[in-house]
Structure 1
Amino acid sequence: MADLSGINLAMQTTFNADGSINFSAYEELIEQYLADGVHGLVLGAGTGQHPYLTEQECNKLYEIGIKRINGRCNVICQTSALNVDEVIRRSKHAEANGADALMVLPPYFEGPTDDDGLFSFYEELDSAIKVDVVGYNIPQSTGIAVSVPLLLRLAELPSFNYIKDSGGDMTTHQQYLQTSVKVLNGADTIAPFAFMGGAVGAIQGTANYMPKEAVKLYNLIKEKKLEEALELWKLMLPSVLLLWTGNYLPMVLKAAHLRGYGTGNLRKPLRAISAQEELALKEAIAPLLK
């Protein structure tokens, strides 16, 4: 089983102004994040605008990214898709290229929502690959909540060793922590409390614009320097709250660009933030460490 502890940055995809992928900027950004000490990178993450990337584009991102990273941190590839055969095809490709783990959403659009149907989906994936699968609980986006009884069943599958919990419900989060599945927090607003409660790490979108702070927060809590950690959290929280209650993805990319990470460009149908949103964003990120 791969050790996915720590901050796994849900990496943005670097686009040119016309919406094409800038692979040179992508490799440069990987080097920046590695220099900032992240423990892992999630390629093709939701923050990387995965729904708007083709399968071929994702495969190329994984090939280039894994080669560039070259074992210097963990690599998690999102291989989610609506068609099961496509999920397996994407997953096998990422595995063959050296991914340490695969992040896979449940079949999120008019697919099965019952526990038996969801279990069958992950069971079929498990039979096709050998690397770890990171399940994904994000009911606010998929309409599907991974129940605790389902997670207990999924834990029996050899590959299903992690779950990313982006639900933000601390009760469910703590129930997950009672199982044998290792929990990665995905709800940035509860990050320090998830780490204190036993989450082994995070898959974090806001780390795109504050990678050093995210890593430092995790390390301080791991070192049990809780007072210092919560002082740092006070500086991080304004922007996290703004993004999680507002125009999340475009704001993440804008904040990252303002702090020197990435191109700041979006792919349609996403749209740039307004002047008013940008002003609020600049105020929210102002307290962050330089």
Structure 2
Amino acid sequence: MADLKGINLAMQTPFTASGAIDYATFEALIDKYVAAGVHGLVLGAGTGQHPYLTEAECNRLYETGAKRIGGKCNVICQTSALNMDEVIRRSQHAESIGANALMILPPYLEGPSDEDGIFSFYTEIDAAVGIDIVGYNIPQATGISVSPRLFDRLSGLKNFNYIKDSAGDLTVHQEYLQTKGGVLNGADPTTVYALMAGTRGVIWGAANYMPGEAVQLYELVAAKKFGEALALWQRMLPSLLYIWRAPYTQSVLKAAQWRGYGTGNIRKPLQPMSFEQEAGLRDALKPLFEPSA
């Protein structure tokens, strides 16, 4: 079982202005994020615009990323797809190039939503791979909620060892923590509270624009310096609340660009932020540029 504790940065996929993957910037970003001390990089995350990447692009991205990372931190690859054979094919490829874990959405978009159907879906994938599977609870996007009871059942599979919980419900999150599975927080505005509650780590999109602060927050909570952690959190929180309600990926990428991480470009069908949205984001980011008290 891979140890996915700490800050697993849900990494952006940098694009050129025309929408092509900028592999040179991708590799440079990996170096920056590793230097910031992140514990893992999630390649092809939602923040990395996975739905708008082809299978061939994902394969090349993961090959390039795993080689560049070179064991300096954990590599988690999203291998979600609608077609069952494609999920398995993507997953086996990611395993073959050195991924430590796979992040896989439940069978969304009119797939089985009952617990037995979801369990069967993950059981088939579990039998086809030999590395950790990170399930994904993001009902606001998939329409499927993974109940704590189902998560506990899934955790009995050989490789299903984690769930990324992006729902933002701290009650459910703490119920997950009562099971035998590993829990990773994925809801930006609840991060510090999930860490204090005992979650193993986070898969965090906002870490794209504040990797150093994200690592520092984790280290403060791990050292039980809760007062210092909450003081840092107050500087992070305005932007986290903003991006959670604004167009998420566009906001993260724009904030990252402004702070020296990436190009800020998106791929269609995503649309650029409006002038008003960018102004709101700039205002929300201001506390990060202020010296700590």
Counterpart CA distance in 2 for 1:147 and 1:32 is 37
Residue 282 (str. 1) matches residue 274 (str. 2): no
**2:225 corresponds to:** 225
Residue 51 (str. 1) matches residue 47 (str. 2): no
Deviation at 1:241, TM superposition (A): 0.2
Residue 147 (str. 1) matches residue 138 (str. 2): no
The one-letter code matched in structure 2 to 1:195 is: L
Deviations 1:179-231 (CA, angstroms, capped at 9, x unpaired) = 01010000010001000101010000000101111110011000000000000
Counterpart CA distance in 2 for 1:108 and 1:196 is 31
Matches within 5 A, 1:157-176: 157-176=157-176
| 8 Å Cα contact 1:213-1:289 kept in structure 2 | no
Deviation at 1:234, TM superposition (A): 0.3
Residue 96 (str. 1) matches residue 81 (str. 2): no
| 8 Å Cα contact 1:5-1:201 kept in structure 2 | yes
Counterpart CA distance in 2 for 1:247 and 1:126 is 33
**1:72 corresponds to:** 72
- Taking structure 1 as the reference length, what is the TM-score of the superposition? 0.99
| 8 Å Cα contact 1:15-1:266 kept in structure 2 | yes
Deviation at 1:141, TM superposition (A): 0.5
- Taking structure 2 as the reference length, what is the TM-score of the superposition? 0.98
Unpaired runs of 5+ residues, structure 1, are: none
Secondary structure class of the residue paired with 1:269: coil
Counterpart CA distance in 2 for 1:149 and 1:66 is 34
Counterpart CA distance in 1 for 2:144 and 2:289 is 37
Aligned-pair Cα RMSD in Å: 0.7
Counterpart CA distance in 1 for 2:285 and 2:182 is 31
Unpaired runs of 5+ residues, structure 2, are: none
Counterpart CA distance in 1 for 2:283 and 2:246 is 14
Counterpart CA distance in 1 for 2:3 and 2:223 is 18
Counterpart CA distance in 2 for 1:93 and 1:240 is 34
Counterpart CA distance in 2 for 1:100 and 1:117 is 26
Deviations 1:71-120 (CA, angstroms, capped at 9, x unpaired) = 00000000000001000000000000000000000011100000000000
Deviation at 1:289, TM superposition (A): 4.7
Q: How many residues align?
A: 290
The one-letter code matched in structure 1 to 2:217 is: L
Moved more, 280-289 or 25-34: 280-289
Percent of aligned pairs sharing the same letter: 64
